[in-house]
Amino acid sequence: MNKSLISFVQSLNAPAGRPGSLRPDIALSALSMLCIAFSIYPETDLSLRIFQQMLAWLPWIADQAKQGNSINVDISTYLEGIHSVFLVQNASFKEHNPLHDDLIRVLKLPWTHMLVAIDNHCPWKTKCLSLQVVSKLGPSLNSKVVLEVLDLGLRDEAEEVRTEAVISMLVMVLWSGLDVLSPVFERMEYLKKDNEKVKKFLPTSLGLLSCLYGCRRSVSDSHINECKLFVNVKSGRTCLTVDCLLQGFCCSKCNSNFICNLDEQQAIIHRSGMHGAHADFSLDSNFIQLQSLFFELLFDESSEDVQISCVRVIHRILAHGPSDILFKTRFEWIKCVEFLLTSRSKELREAFCSQIRFFVDDLILSLIFAGDADKSKEQKFLDTIKHAMTVAGSPHILETLMECTAEIMVAVNIDSKLFLCSLILLVDQLDSTHMTVRMNASRLIHKSCYFHLKGGLELILSKDVHIRNELYDYLSERLASRLVLVREFAEAVFGVETKELVKKMIPFVLPKLVVSQQYNSQAVDTLCELAKCLNTDMVPLIVNWLPKVLAFALHQTDDQQLISAVQFYHAQTGSDKEEIFAAALPALLDELVCFTDGGDLDEISRRLARVPQMIKGIAKVLTGAEDLPGFLRNHFVGLLNSIDRKMLHADNFMLQRQALNRIEMLIRMMGSHLNTYVPKLMVLLMHAIVKEPLQKEGLSVLHFFIKQLAKVSPSSIKHIISQVFASLLPFLERDKENPSIHLDKVVTILEELVLKNRAILKQHICEFPPLPSIPALTAVNKAIEDARGTMTLKDQLRDVVDGLNHENLNVRYMVVCELCKLLNSRWKDVTALISAEAGSDLDVLSSLITSLFRGCAEESRTTVGQRLKLVCADCLGALGAVDPAKVKGFSCQRFKIQCSDDDLIFELIHKHLARAFRSAPDTVIQDSAALAIQELLKFAGCEASLDENASTTTSQAQKNEDNCNAVASKIKSTKGSNGMNNRGQKLWDRFSNYVKEIIAPCLTSRFQLPKVADSTSAGPIYRTSMSFRRWIFFWIRKLTAHATGSRASIFNACRGIVRHDMQTAIYLLPYLVLNAVCHGTQEARHGITEEILSVLDAAASENSGASVHGFSGQSEVCIQAVFTLLDNLGQWVDDVEQELALSISHPSVSKQHKSKGRSSNSLTDQDQLLVQCKYVSELLSAIPKVTLASASFRCQAYARSLMYFESYVREKSGAFNPAAERSGIFEDQDVSHLMEIYSCLDEPDGLSGLSCLSKSLRLQDQLLMNKKAGNWADVLTSCEQALQMEANLGSEAF
């Protein structure tokens, strides 16, 4: 095939008079078609032969033209083939071609000779092909000769030819270099007089020439910029140049899709042909000429199509224009913008709308709309649009102007001045008299804002403080004069009523209005309008926002603004400065410390730097002194809670980091009172260092906190040292080969704890676990080893037991992990310890096993809590099977359910709530515990003056509250406060100093107890699918809702903590049930009975799906809670009956007991106790003993099951002793069940005794007795009998 093609190509040589050769027209047509086809594969040898063969025909065609012979060959196809050769061959192919003169003569043929039309080729098409070829000859030819062909095309009668000539001038510059620009511009001047169809391509050429100019300047200016022409060479046929340019021309600066598919297209890269200073000067002159021609075409209103073409290339001219030229011609450009904005042609305005975004480039804006001292460049640019909106006489022009404004908003970032100013321009049109204008304004606002953020304008306002403030200021200023605009903005843009919009605006506009009223005459009127929109008066409005106003005034650098605000409030309310500041606390402190509208980081830092001095000033106004720690003491918890709620748990990481800065600032300000708030601060800091984005800042603040605490209260370090170690250990163990990026900071903190506080923490350092052996921790590890000294296994286990009983979950997890390592590394010593006889070592072992079992029952829902249970189980497995006789059982302390309210409060706080507060893993649980403590102390009559550290601030706090009430009394009524009583003092004195230090902040805290509606439903709550935590919470909530008497306040105070802390919930359950049974309605007592039965029935039911060995763990815990409850109620009945019996038989002893327990000694109280005791007894009796026994048996509580079932059998059948006077008759089924229980208790003697009570033992009972007695021969006989009986039953059925 290849040889045949080569032979065929050789036969297509130019005519040489050889016999048998093809006719010239046939040979040339065939060769031209081959050339076009093989141009797709230019690198092959065959293609190169064809290309050279094509050029070899040039002399023959030129000779035919010289001799004046008619041209009978198909010149059109030949020129198309030549054009394809020039497209795919490199420059050297054309430059070393000696046939240039012949080529030019051939290119002129369409104009100089009459050509034979073949294949219906029009004459103008051949001329276009000639122009395409001549435009790609490159700089090697004399430009004068090339321009001759170009002039022929420009003066041709056919519009298609003149159009091709116009576009070919650009290609000529691309191939030949910018040295032909001058003659090109001369010819463009000539074309201005042409008709519209030709002239409309001039702007396109001007725009693309601008790109080529910019490409040349980028070489001299060292900027990256290049132009490429991508031509589809695989199409096989040549298209018009205008189509090629519009589709394939790419400029790296003007085209966003600069990278094209080079597999299908060949890139022709522009090569500059001019260098040196003279060349740059010439280029600038050419660009001035280009720009002048552009303006002349643009302002010529004779052809709208030409104007639109000019508009479409504006971005190219602006992008590549030299700065000096653009600056000199800035007035022409401003005139251009003004002309296009208000043009009468809709198409022209819309075309410019897509181009206006190129004017917002910072450099372009600075050159054309240069700013000055009065106005910025952005303002001058938008003033042009604003003026156009003002003079626009038609709503159609106004709508196009709004489209331009929206394009500007889309083109810039939301933090640009242009975005805000453009937004306000659109908002300003919302009260237009034309409905279409209003609708388009709201639509464009939505569209432009959603382009930047999917949440639209509301999300932008929440993120950008400056835009929000400026927009709200603009709207508030127009409330009085343009209420329609504000209403349209609220309804069409925000989708809310005007009242709701005003509520959103008030926090941001009202402080400015109050502060500026001294020099702004309209401020008071605007305040009145705001109040009017909310259906209130101005005075209540400004009083409600007093903290916000004072905070805003304090943040201003000019002190006169604060004075002005205070004077304004004095004039409106009559209150003096001290009363005004007292009324604003503590919300004022919250605004100063926890603000979230600070703008950029620099502004936030400047504001925070002034906060301590501001608070000192407030303290001086209210107390007359600048004692910052003492003044903040009553507000510290509230500020921390606000930081946690607003910032630390926000979705924005910037706010979270700022929260840590605020916490550090508060730690610095608290001074000697810092130790009181250690648990609260530790919860926040532990939360921060767990979150990876906050670890750096969190560790820094933790280090600062430890240093400050060691400075002001060294003894408090011991309470946090284990918790800090537990939180830092993961940083050290995460990757020992590749330590954490925060390793340096972690080591610094450990050195601060261990080395610098060695004397204080000497007895606690030994509790630390071994740290990884890395060089950075050498000194710390040595200090720990020195403090620990030589420790026996017994000492180590004793320390482990102490650690497992630590209140903090992370510490317990850290300790049990170390225990697991210890058991694995010293398993021989542990085995010897377990195998030893009774002694002190076994006491440690018993304590260890008890602590591990307690860890396996951990109720925490956190990941650490689940891991703790698993590791405790691993440790129990590592200990192995320990002889139960060597292990002491759990201590069973008698539950004291009969107690006074104060005793209950003391037990709750001292044993449960203080622990829950200290060990809380997050602020939700800690705040729930703090709320419960606060309400319980308040109920018991404890006041802030009980705290010794608060003695200096208590009187002032009371004074502040009185002042607050004095100001607020002008608006609404106030309530007085109760004084301290002896009851509160007695309760406070019972707490240990450590507990007092923990709960002291709750004396002055301001947690609010939420009011919740009774959402409990009738009927039992328990479901088998419920978790224990969920069930007990719902039941306690139901019991609390129906609680009565003085205990109701105690139960309500604990309503939140019982959701999170199961120990507190389990502790309160008997008291709640007893309250409902003794003081509640018959319906409440019936509900409790139903709830207990629902739990027991689920366990006792044969259809529950539970087996003896496969009962659900959660259900088993629920049943155990019911058993404990019933035991406690039974104990209460016994105690009351005993006390009543004593009061009857021994009145003097009764009085002593009464003085300790109850305050009343009357007969009425005894009668009431008898009634209550009756109610509880009825409840206990309502629970069937057989149900209790079945539930116990399924939970494998066999001793309890035996107790309940024996009681059931005695009530039913009488005594068990056959020799007794009144021995009953027992049913075989009951005896069989008793035997089954005894078998599980491993009591063979009991089984033998029970067998005497049965009239006829079942085969299964005999089998059971023989198994327990070890009579295996009898067991075998019983089994054979059972099999025989089954076989007989089967045959009878058959």
Least confident of 97-101, 305-309, 597-601: 97-101
Percent of the chain with pLDDT over 90: 28
pLDDT digits (tens, 9 = 90+) for 857-870: 776 667 888 888 89
pLDDT digits (tens, 9 = 90+) for 316-330: 889 888 888 999 999
Give φ, ψ of 862 to 5 degrees. Answer: -80, 165
Q: Following DSSP, what letter does each residue of 404-455 receive, concatenated?
A: HHHHHHHHS-TTSHHHHHHHHHHHTTTT-SSHHHHHHHHHHHHHHHHHH-TT
Q: Which of 795, 792, 880, 886 is nearest to 831 (CA)?
A: 880
Distance CA(452)–CA(430), nearest Å, equals 22
The residues, any chain, with a CB within 8 Å of residue 583's CB and separated by 6 or more, are 543, 546, 575, 963, 964, 966, 967, 968
- Residue 980's pLDDT band, with cuts at 50, 70 and 90, is very low
Compute the average pLDDT of residues 1070-1084: 91
Q: How far is CA 916 from the centre of its chain?
A: 29
pLDDT at 20: 53
Compute the average pLDDT of residues 767-793: 77
pLDDT at 582: 92
Q: Are 756 and 721 in contact (CB under 8 A)?
A: no
As given in the structure block, the two tokens for residue 536 are 């209130």
pLDDT digits (tens, 9 = 90+) for 1023-1047: 888 888 899 999 999 999 888 888 9
Place of tokens 């089924």: 1229
pLDDT digits (tens, 9 = 90+) for 915-969: 999 888 888 889 999 999 999 999 998 887 777 654 444 444 444 544 444 444 4
Q: Write down the number of H helices and E strands in the chain.
A: 70, 3
pLDDT at 440: 94
Prior bond of 15 cis (ω within 30°)? no
Q: Which of 739, 779, 777, 1067 is nearest to 895 (CA)?
A: 1067
Burial class (CB in 10 A: 0-12, 13-18, 19+), 472: buried
Give φ, ψ of 229 to 5 degrees. Answer: -115, 115
What average pLDDT does the chain have? 80
Between 488 and 1253, where is the model more confident? 488
Q: Are 622 and 578 in contact (CB under 8 A)?
A: yes
3-state secondary structure of 269: strand
Between 511 and 815, where is the model more confident? 511
- Residue 1110's pLDDT band, with cuts at 50, 70 and 90, is very low
Q: For the chain, what's the residue count?
A: 1294
Residue 1051 has pLDDT above 90, yes or no: yes
pLDDT at 969: 45
Distance CA(486)–CA(476), nearest Å, equals 8
pLDDT at 85: 78
- Residue 613's pLDDT band, with cuts at 50, 70 and 90, is very high
Distance CA(800)–CA(811), nearest Å, equals 11
Q: Are 171 and 241 in contact (CB under 8 A)?
A: yes
Residue 1259 has pLDDT above 70, yes or no: no
Per the rule left: phi > 0, alpha: psi between -120 and 50, beta: everything else, 972 is beta
pLDDT at 930: 92
Distance CA(1187)–CA(1205), nearest Å, equals 9
Residue 419 has pLDDT above 90, yes or no: yes
pLDDT digits (tens, 9 = 90+) for 495-509: 999 999 999 999 999
pLDDT at 1271: 62
Distance CA(754)–CA(765), nearest Å, equals 7
Q: Are 191 and 154 in contact (CB under 8 A)?
A: yes
pTM exceeds 0.75, yes or no: no
pLDDT digits (tens, 9 = 90+) for 523-573: 999 999 999 999 999 999 999 999 999 999 998 888 889 999 999 999 999
Q: Which of 667, 678, 663, 723 is nearest to 1000 (CA)?
A: 678
Between 32 and 759, where is the model more confident? 32
Q: Are 297 and 307 in contact (CB under 8 A)?
A: yes
pLDDT at 406: 95
Residue 1050 has pLDDT above 90, yes or no: yes
Between 952 and 136, where is the model more confident? 136
Compute the average pLDDT of residues 443-452: 94
pLDDT digits (tens, 9 = 90+) for 228-271: 766 665 554 555 666 666 666 777 778 765 554 444 445 454 44
Compute the average pLDDT of residues 392-419: 92
As given in the structure block, the two tokens for residue 276 are 């040196």
Q: What is the CA radius of gyration of the chain?
A: 48
pLDDT digits (tens, 9 = 90+) for 364-388: 999 999 877 778 888 999 999 999 9
